[in-house]
Structure 1
Amino acid sequence: MTKRLRSKGNRNHHSKTTVQPPKRHRRTAKFTTMSTTEEAISTITANTLQAKEFPPLRYAVDGYIAEGLTLLAGKPKIGKSWMALDFAMAVATGGLALGSVECRRGPVLYCALEDNHRRLQRRMSQLYGNVEHWPPELHFATQVRRLGNGLIDDLREWIERHRPKLVIIDTFAGVRPQGRREGYEADYSALAPLQELAGDLCVSILVIHHLRKMPSDDPFDMISGSTGVTGSVDNPFVLHRGKQGVTLYGRGREIEEMEQAVEFVGGMWKVLGDAAEVRRSEERNAILEVLEEVDEPMGPKEIANALGKSENNIKQLLFKMHKDGEIKKRGRGRYCAADET
């Protein structure tokens, strides 16, 4: 018997095969139902915020050290500790800091971690030896525990008991957590507990810190460590000595950005005024002195050479001084003192 074999390949030879696209499963977001009291993110509406009333921000040192965490950085031996001691004494007595800045009187805790009692007494005697009684509201500590090892608890207890207006930690290196952690996260997390403590207890905390050796156009970039240091504080200050003198730079969340010319005499710091204005006045006085010493009018190049300054800067300053009546013009581009005939 002959069997007829039918090829499967020939079956449906002329039919078209329809390829079905893969089924796409629609993904739906799954939300966890949570009661209002269990929300992980706490919010406040804009209209509720509008109706809230806050007490005015208070300063320990008016315009400089507000409630919160303030950082004062400078190179070694520039006089950071002298400035800190001036702040401490002025707040403890309700006197003037930096020669003219009003302070809010109250107890002060000064953690002088690089000093001992003998050195502190010597400094106090140098500055306030003529004062019959040093203020009992100024407290010194030369040893404290470190951050991450009990300092925050110790400070909280002391602050709640004495209600100080100002707490000074001199220096940050003396309380910095021990270990080799570096970078933004380490720097930020080291100072963040102090910033939180200052906010919780409405107290001004000042931390003294160092500058790195590498120069920078922005003085705040010279603060030792990463940007986590400045990022974790409310108001950073830099005390920096330049070619034209010492300048106190300040910026932050609670203060106006400033560049103040300051002077250090006999252990005391004094604010001279806005740095740009003070430096300009100094340069004008220098030009007047040069013109008064000669018998003939001088040109910008001669004056610049005598002062070791840029000729372009001197030209601009001479133009302004002539406009203000401080000097007289004699001939083309030559000047003399205003009182010369």
Structure 2
Amino acid sequence: MGYQQNNLGVQLDWSDFDELDIHKQQNKSALQSFTLTRVGDLLNEPSEHNEWVINDLLLRGGFSLLAGKPKAGKSTLTRCLAQAVARGHEFLGRTVKQGGVLFFSLEDHRTMLKKEFQRLGADSEDKIWVHCGSVNGDRYGILERAIEAHEPSLVIIDTIFRFTRCFDTNSYTQVLEALTPVSDLARKTGVHILAVHHAGKSERADSLDSVLGSVAVHGSMDCTLLLRRTSEYRIIESQQRYGHDLPPTVLEYDPCTGWIESGSLLENIETQRLGSQILELLENADQALTEREIVDSVSGKTTMLRKSLRSLVESGKVNRSGTGQRGHAFLYSSIVE
């Protein structure tokens, strides 16, 4: 370090000036990259065609989130996703563009990861590169160099805030500072980056509210995949900035192969389940029941119960009588075959 006494008697460190020069260069570079385009010129630009890693779900150059509670099946789902992309196999009922995958597994043991990929049928021909454990040093630089070296279609980071070292996920500012370099890297390289994160313990009316931390977490994403587990099902849904939302869908898991596939829509399964309970209620009833009496007697969401009841009437399994007018409510009874 070089020091010099100025005419005010203050000792100066030349490295301070070096830092000032660096900041000036950074500001100059930022100004050079900043441009304004008139809207007329924007409208005349040729339209870009969206390219997908997973059709209508994961956009090339996009940044997405997979959120779920511990033990919901996030790691299992990401391994299946990696295998599907490496081989170009359908995933969650959608077509896949084959490509390489970088898999940052920051919480799993290496031996466990090996065992699970073996169970999925992975082999030496699959273009999947894995890293287990922490990433130290210039994490964003390491990620960028890995992308340049292997040219993958997809990068999976499990979990994102263990990678970025952002420990206050409730801070909007800190979350943005942590996620923006990752998002910018996805745009720059054309690679899709999937970030894995945790959901909160409590159930929320809006699925997005279950994502743990600041709204900046899912607000930074092009696609948010939400995975939840009930006593009966594992359910996945998506909310998309681009593409079409994946409605709540029950996943089917093969314990022998470790593979997850898309099953039926949750709404269809619930309609069928509630329909069976309504039929049982009507078959054991001494008289026809009103819709209100049915809704009060069967456990379930009112909207789903009403839909199930209409479906039973339309399919000829339940008889509906009455006018449905005030004082003359519809009455429902089972049809004896």
Q: Under TM normalisation by the shorter chain, which class is it?
A: 0.7 to 0.9
Report what 1:228 is aligned to. 216
The residue that corresponds to 1:79 in the other structure is: 73
- The residue that corresponds to 1:10 in the other structure is none
Cα 1:320–1:113, aligned 2, differ >3 Å: closer, same or farther? same
1:60 aligns with 2:50: no
Amino acid in structure 1 at the alignment position of 2:272: S
**Residue 284 (structure 2) pairs with residue 308 (structure 1):** no
Answer yes or no: is the 8 Å Cα contact 1:260–1:272 preserved in 2. Answer: no
How far, CA to CA, are the matches of 2:183 and 2:334 in structure 1? 56
Change in 2 beyond 3 A, CA 1:219/1:243: farther
Cα 1:120–1:312 change in 2 (3 A) is: closer
Kindly report the root-mean-square deviation, in angstroms, between the aligned alpha carbons of the 2 structures. 3.2
Whole-Å separation in 1 of the counterparts to 2:169 and 2:157? 21
Q: Which residue of 1 aligns with 2:260?
A: 269
Deviation at 1:224, TM superposition (A): 1.1
Q: Quick one: which of 128, 131, 136 aligns to 1:138?
A: 128
1:88 Cα deviation from its structure 2 partner: 0.4
Q: Deviations over 1:281-327 (max 9, x none)?
A: 33224444x27976977646786677534788646632442134243
Separation in 2 of the partners of 1:169 and 1:163? 16
Percent of aligned pairs with the same amino acid: 24
Distance 1:311-1:86 versus aligned 2 partners, 3 A rule: closer
Deviations 1:147-200 (A, max 9, x none): xx4122112112122211110001123213256685100011111110000001
User: Contact conserved, 1:250 with 1:258, CA < 8 A, in 2?
Assistant: yes
Residue of structure 1 aligned with 2:334, choices 326, 333, 336: 336
Aligned CA distance change for structure 1 residues 243 and 321 (closer, same or farther; 3 Å): farther
Contact 2:106 2:162 in 1 (8 A): yes
Distance 1:315 1:233 in 2: 35
Aligned-partner residue type, residue 321 of structure 1: L
How far the C-alpha of 1:274 sits from its partner, in A, is 4.1
Amino acid paired to 2:259: M
- Report the TM-score, using the length of structure 2 for normalisation: 0.75
**Which amino acid is the alignment partner of residue 224 of structure 1?**
L
Q: What is the distance in 2 between the residues matched to 1:318 and 1:56?
A: 44
> Is residue 166–residue 174 contact of structure 2 (8 Å, CA) maintained in 1?
no
Among candidates 112, 118, 124, match of residue 119 of structure 1: 112
Secondary structure class of the residue paired with 2:56 = coil
1:181-233: per-residue Cα shift (whole Å, max 9, x none)?
85100011111110000001111100100012233211111211111112222
* TM-score, structure 1 as length reference: 0.74
1:197 aligns with 2:157: no
Per the TM alignment, residue 134 of structure 1 is displaced from its structure 2 partner at its CA by: 5.3
Structure whose CA Rg is larger: 1
Residue 102 of structure 1: SS of its match in structure 2?
coil
CA contact (8 A) 1:260 1:271 kept: no
CA contact (8 A) 1:110 1:169 kept: yes
Deviation of 1:39 (Å): 7.9
Candidates 316, 321, 324, aligned match of 1:325? 316
2:194 aligned residue (206, 219, 229): 206
Q: Which segments of 5 or more consecutive residues in structure 1 lack a partner in the other structure? A: 1-37
Aligned pair 1:174/2:168, yes or no? Answer: no
Q: 1:154 aligns with which of 123, 139, 142?
A: 142
Q: Equivalent residue of 1:96, what SS? A: coil
- 1:184 is matched by which residue type in structure 2? Y
Partner of 2:207: 219
